[in-house]
Amino acid sequence: MDTLENLRAVAQDPYGYARNIQATESKPILGYFCSYTPEEIITAAGAIPFRLFGTREDISRADAHLQSYCCSLVRGGLEDALTGRLNFLKGAVFPHTCDSIQRLSDIWRLNAGMALHFDAVLPVKLTTESARNYMIAVLNDFRSELEQGLGVTISDEALYKANHTCNRIRELLGHIYAFRSQNPSQLKGSDIYYIMKAAMVMDREVLVEQLAHLWADLREKGGEAPPTDRKRVLLSGGICTLPDIYTLIEDAGGEVVWDDLCTGTRYFEGEVRETGDPVEAIAERYLSRMVCPAKHKGMSVRGEHLSRLVREQQIGGVIFLFLKFCEPHGFDYPYLKACMDRAGVPTLLLEVEEQLPAEGQLRTRFETFIDMLE
- Applying CB under 6 A, the residues found at the interface with ligand SF4 are 33-36, 71, 73-74, 97-98, 100-101, 238-239, 262, 292, 294, 323, 326-329
Q: Can you state the angle between helices 278-288 and 156-182, rounded to 10 degrees?
A: 30
Measured from the CB atom, the residue of 120 and 294 that comes closer to ligand SF4 is 294
Q: How many residues does the chain have?
A: 374
Residue 262 CB, shortest distance to ligand SF4, in Å, is 3
Among 88, 89, 81, residue whose Cα is nearest residue 107 = 81
CB of 324 to ligand SF4, least distance (A): 9
Single-letter residue type at 250: E
Give all strands (DSSP E) within the chain, no chain letters.
29-32, 48-51, 91-95, 116-120, 231-237, 254-260, 317-323, 347-352
Q: Which is nearer to ligand SF4, 11 or 74 (CB)?
A: 74
Shortest spacing between CB 135 and ligand SF4, in angstroms = 15
| Amino acid identity for residue 157 in this structure | E
CA 323 to chain centre: 14
Question: Would you say 256 or 262 has its CB closer to ligand SF4?
Answer: 262
The CB-of-259 to ligand SF4 minimum distance in angstroms stands at 12
Q: Which is nearer to ligand SF4, 231 or 302 (CB)?
A: 302
Cβ of residue 332: shortest distance to ligand SF4, in angstroms? 10
Q: Considering Cα of 278, then 279, then 284, then 290, what sign does the dihedral take?
A: positive
Contact, 163 vs 41, CB < 8 A?
no
Q: Give me the least distance between CB of 96 and ligand SF4, in Å please.
A: 9
Please state, in angstroms and rounded to a whole number, the distance separating the CA atoms of residues 250 and 254: 5
Residue closer to ligand SF4, measured from CB, 324 or 342: 324
- Distance of alpha carbon 246 from alpha carbon 269, whole angstroms: 21
* Residue 103 burial (C-beta neighbours within 10 Å; 0-12, 13-18, 19+): middle
Q: Which is nearer to ligand SF4, 73 or 211 (CB)?
A: 73
